[in-house]
Amino acid sequence: MSDRTTPVSDIRLSLAQIKRETTKPNRFAFVRRKESIDCLANLGFSIKAAQNEIISLTYQDYDRGPLPDHDQTSPGSIWEFIKNVDGIEVYIKLKLDPNRGCVCLSLHKSEGPVMLRHRHDP
């Protein structure tokens, strides 16, 4: 984990790409892990609702990234966000994959530690 802070301009650029990919047909993938599916159920969310939460992310939800993908099954960078959803801090781990678009690797209740370096920026 790096202590370096990614500039807001870089986060905004990546979020713009995440949002573009998420709204294109066949360019959004949700990895169906038990923890993520359980979180969706607890929030009463569909995958489409999770997609909408991803589209509504802002730089203030930024936690970490870009990070290398340690799995390395495909190229791309990892971005981590913490979003308040109905009073619950939800951890969202996304990958910008040039072949698949935006991949939601994980979505679950945040268990910390969190950085949220820009949460209180104006």
User: What are the tens digits of pLDDT across the range 63-107?
Assistant: 999 988 877 677 788 999 999 998 989 999 999 998 899 999 999
This prediction's pTM: 0.89
Q: With bands split at pLDDT 50, 70 and 90, how would you rate the model's confidence at 120? A: low
pLDDT in tens, 10-25: 999 999 999 999 999 9
CB-based contact 117:5 (threshold 8 Å): yes
From residue 118, alpha-carbon distances to 43, 68, 90, 111 in Å are 25, 21, 16, 19
Sorting pLDDT into bands at 50, 70 and 90, what band is 2? very low
- Every domain of the chain and the residues it spans: 8-109
Q: Is the Cβ–Cβ distance between 115 and 64 less than 8 Å?
A: yes
Considering the domain 8-109 in this protein, what is its CATH number?
3.30.2310.40
Alpha helices in 1-122 (DSSP H): 8-23, 34-43, 47-55
